[in-house]
Amino acid sequence: MTVKNTYESVCVLGLGYIGLPTSAALAARGFTIHGVEVNSEVVDTINAGETHIVEPELDLLVRAAVESGRLRAHQEPASADVFMICVPTPLTQEKTADLSYVWDAASSIAKHVKQGNLILLESTSPPRTTERVAEIIAKESGLQLTDFHVAHAPERVLPGRILREVVENDRIVGGVDDSSTEAAARFYEKFVSGRILTTTARTAELAKLVENSFRDVNIAFANELSVLCDELEIDVWELIALANRHPRVDILSPGPGVGGHCLAVDPWFIVELAPTTARMIHTAREVNESKPDWIVDRVVRKAERFKKPGIACLGLAYKPDVDDLRESPAVEITKKLCAQNVGDVWAVEPFIQDHPDIPLRDLQSGVEGADIVLLLVGHRQFKRMPRQWLREKVVFDICGLFRNTELD
């Protein structure tokens, strides 16, 4: 089948942390976007030219896209030249990939797919998922697999820099066949300034999982060092700084664990595929997932020296300066401290207004009213906090905000 030279309309399924910035970026480059989001409140918010997530400059770009008529949100898909699937792929309780949103998205667009259309799966997925998407669409549309193009193009962006990185980053694209790879590459060339790296769908799928597993393993090493240093009464931050003076050593920073939809999730997809082979990846996940309990245990022991202490947890997001709480170890730590009933526990999180399970305070009152302060996330606002606020407090600098950790 001949690859189309022009693509003008795009149907984006999922208007979250990836789908909405991608839609806004595409609209800014002349594409007409039919956005699909099941949450009616999100649909109304976007169509009002507003955003439901925090990302630098995203509100301005969305407003411009809506006012120009190039972006409109809906609850149902429609016909388009290109379909982009940007739905969540969470973990089940059994640590396996929940691909139900992907299958539902594929089924929902099947009746709209026409000959020559391009279907792109950007959702992080285990190998063979893209091939299954193609099979679902073929079966439910009545088309042949050769009548349309299907490819995987994993997103590789950093929250806080999404609008820049969705355009500037190199992109891996892998089709279920050569013509699909070519079609996907041509589409991304229209708005991506980074290199377009072509491969197969399975390799593209695994590449994203490997990238995040590599980072997870490295963070696990740093987190394991922090536990070791605590046992040996050594400053882990000094140790890492000294070790990193070696020209071929670059140890990452320890923290409360690993969060976010990617790093805390993707390695399990590999473990699911090869449980007896992916031993290092599995162990790294166990190390990082155990870190919150290790921290809670030490805080509880310190809290026992007080009579119902105030405990302030600074930060709930999974990384600095974003509002993303997905898989956040800081949330897990704070909830577990609340459940321990060792004192009054609250959180300070400047990027959200409220939380269903955790009471929130502003930074100054949150710190001043506490006996114990946990620095869990390195938000800029916390870095600018006057150090005298922490005098006479028990401080657990989990994220190395002041490079001075107390975990005895």
Per-residue pLDDT of the chain (408 residues; tens, 9 = 90+): 655 667 999 999 999 999 999 999 999 999 999 999 999 999 999 999 999 988 889 999 999 999 999 999 999 999 999 999 999 999 999 999 999 999 999 999 999 999 999 999 999 999 999 999 999 999 999 999 999 999 999 988 887 788 899 899 999 999 999 999 999 999 999 999 999 999 999 999 999 999 999 999 999 999 999 999 999 999 999 999 999 999 999 999 999 999 988 899 999 999 999 999 999 999 999 999 999 999 999 999 999 999 899 999 999 999 999 888 999 999 999 999 999 999 999 999 999 999 999 999 999 999 999 999 999 999 999 999 999 999 999 999 999 988 743 443
Q: Place domain 9-194 in its CATH homologous superfamily.
A: NAD(P)-binding Rossmann-like Domain (3.40.50.720)
Let me know if 313 is a catalytic residue. Answer: no
> Where do the CATH 3.40.50.720 domains begin and end in the chain?
9-194, 209-397
φ, ψ of residue 342 to 5 degrees: the values are -100, 0
**Other C-beta atoms lying within 10 Å of the C-beta of residue 147:** 16
Strand partners for 149: 118
pLDDT at residue number 5: 60
User: 202: helix, coil or strand?
Assistant: helix
> Closest by alpha carbon to 303, among 190, 201, 394?
394
Compute CA distances 236 → 82, 221, 248, 266, 297, whole Å. 50, 12, 19, 27, 19
Rounded to 5°, the CA angle 391-393-397 comes to 100
Query: Which pair of structure tokens corresponds to residue 62?
Result: 């969305």
Let me know if 11 is a catalytic residue. Answer: no
Q: Please identify which of the residues 262, 313, 338, 399 carries the catalytic annotation.
A: 262
User: 307: helix, coil or strand?
Assistant: coil
Does domain 209-397 match CATH 1.10.3210.10? Answer: no
What is the distance between the terminal CA atoms of the chain, rounded to a whole angstrom?
66
Q: Please identify which of the residues 86, 208, 229, 302 carries the catalytic annotation.
A: 208
Alpha helices for 274-379 (secondary structure H): 279-303, 329-340, 363-368
Please give the Cα distance from 81 to 379 (Å, whole number). 41
> Closest by alpha carbon to 89, among 327, 341, 342?
327
Strand partners for 312: 346, 373
Q: What is the pTM of this model?
A: 0.89
pLDDT at residue number 4: 60
Please give the Cα distance from 336 to 311 (Å, whole number). 12
